[in-house]
Amino acid sequence: MNETTLPRLAVTAGEPAGVGPELLARLAASDLAADLVAITDRDLLAEAAARCGLALHLADDDGSRRTHRPAGHLRVRHVPLGAPVRFGRPDPANARHVLDMLGIAADGCLDGRFDAVVTGPVQKASINDAGISFSGHTEFFAERAGAEVVMMLASPELRVTLATTHLPLSAVPAAITPALLERTLRIVHDALRQHFGLASPRIAVLGLNPHAGEDGHMGREEIDTIIPLLERLRAGGMDLSGPLPADTAFVPAMRPRYDAVLAMYHDQALPVLKSEAFDRTVNVTLGLPFIRTSVDHGTALDLAGTGQANPASLFAATRLAIELARQRATV
């Protein structure tokens, strides 16, 4: 990508029986300044556009770059379905279709054919029901790229990263090790510099226990693990605050003091973010050698086929992908 060409984004439709194809059709109808390449079944996308009352001009992707994309024009990398789609009823026979979309998008980013990938929602259970072990987009892309990654949820007001993701609460304390925290903080710090253009990122680190342990009276993880690690990384030049009590870290007076938050577990911070900006929150995978953003909602099977699904999160994910791709091109 150069100053005159558009960022070339691979956009995967996700679960074919969910709302992803309809959201992608609405995205294509917009005039967002990106060369969008849909990775999906072409007929599925055309049918989704028709249900939404949209007239799209679909063309096969020839791999070339362009400087302008008229609204409603979309290039497609066709990935055939494995079975007919029934709205709201995911079919394990389409699991390979979903994974092939992700593989094409990832490989295209790795070899430079795409500047970023934006992913629609998938139905994990349907893929696992097909006998394929699948824990999520993040893990799929990490394995494909051979990278260690961190999940970030970003809204216009707040960036939250997670030390642990989908673990039961009973397993979280043992998972919070110095090695995990150091790896996570280094990935977050580097990504804030390289992708978000922050020369000296400020990261707030939450404690694990209520009141950040209250000097050991409510748990010793802060004293034994978190504080010594933060002191060592500060000595190496990182701007880290904490460990902070999670119940006060997000108040408006605190937010100007940091560029991102590291939470110890999934539900420690994400309810705050989603309650404020659910339809404007974007899932970003940090640590990959390419840019990946995603909607921060599920497949909405109850809305599939109705044309009523809200595309705001996909628009937000695409706008952020454009911003990050352009920032990366200047580094």
Give the residue extent of every domain in the chain: 1-147+288-330, 148-286
Q: Check whether 195 is labelled as a binding-site residue.
A: no
How many CB atoms lie under 10 A from the CB of residue 256?
A: 8
**CATH entry, 148-286, from 1.10.3720.10, 3.30.1360.180, 3.40.50.1360, 3.40.718.10:** 3.40.718.10
Q: Check whether 266 is labelled as a binding-site residue.
A: yes
Q: Check whether 211 is labelled as a binding-site residue.
A: yes
Q: Check whether 57 is labelled as a binding-site residue.
A: no
Q: Check whether 124 is labelled as a binding-site residue.
A: no
pLDDT single digits (tens) 204-217: 999 999 999 899 99
Q: Report pLDDT for 2.
A: 66
Question: Which ranges of the chain have pLDDT less than 50?
Answer: none
Half-sphere exposure at residue 170, Cβ-oriented, CA atoms within 13 angstroms: 0
Q: Check whether 274 is labelled as a binding-site residue.
A: yes
Contact 241, 205 (CB under 8 A): yes
Q: Report pLDDT for 274.
A: 84
In terms of CATH, what superfamily is 1-147+288-330?
Answer: Isopropylmalate Dehydrogenase (3.40.718.10)
Q: Report pLDDT for 331.
A: 65
Q: Check whether 292 is labelled as a binding-site residue.
A: yes
Q: Do 1-147+288-330 and 148-286 come out as alike in CATH topology?
A: yes
Half-sphere exposure at residue 265, Cβ-oriented, CA atoms within 13 angstroms: 18
Q: Which residues are within 8 A (CB) of 306 and not within 5 positions of it... i.e. 6 or more apart?
A: 51
Q: Check whether 283 is labelled as a binding-site residue.
A: yes
Angle made by CA atoms 32, 38, 41, in degrees to the nearest 5: 150
| R_g of the chain computed on alpha carbons | 20
